[in-house]
């Protein structure tokens, strides 16, 4: 997990290009989603975290976004994740 407030924007862009970051999350609400999600783009920098894949997000107690990860969200909602 990479916290946005501890990194520069240049570093974040480099990590995204190298595929070291593929998902973003909200630290307070414990929700993760795709980097291009409209909901995720509105997050404050202090609340934003990044993940390599869905697995570390789930291990850290994050739930899928209902907008950009609808299928995963439904699985989580029904108790399968």
The string of pLDDT tens digits covering residues 38-69 is: 988 888 999 999 999 999 999 999 999 999 99
Burial string for 39-65 (b: 16+ CB within 10 Å, else e) reads ebeebeeeebbbbeebeebbeeebbbb
Q: How confident is the model at residue 11 (pLDDT cuts 50, 70, 90)?
A: very high
Beta bridge partners of 23: 34, 51
Q: Tell me the CATH architecture of domain 2-77.
A: 3-Layer(aba) Sandwich (3.40)
Paired tokens of 31: 């929700």
CB 50 within 8 A of CB 24: yes
pLDDT score for 40: 84
């Amino acid at each position: 997990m990479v916290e946005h407030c501890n990194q520069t924007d240049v570093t974040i862009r480099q990590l995204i290009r190298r595929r070291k970051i593929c998902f973003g999350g909200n630290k307070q609400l414990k929700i993760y989603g795709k980097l291009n999600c409209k909901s995720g783009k509105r997050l404050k920098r202090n609340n934003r975290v990044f993940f390599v894949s869905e697995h570390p997000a789930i291990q850290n107690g994050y739930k899928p976004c209902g907008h950009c990860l609808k299928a995963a969200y439904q699985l989580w909602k029904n108790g399968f994740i």
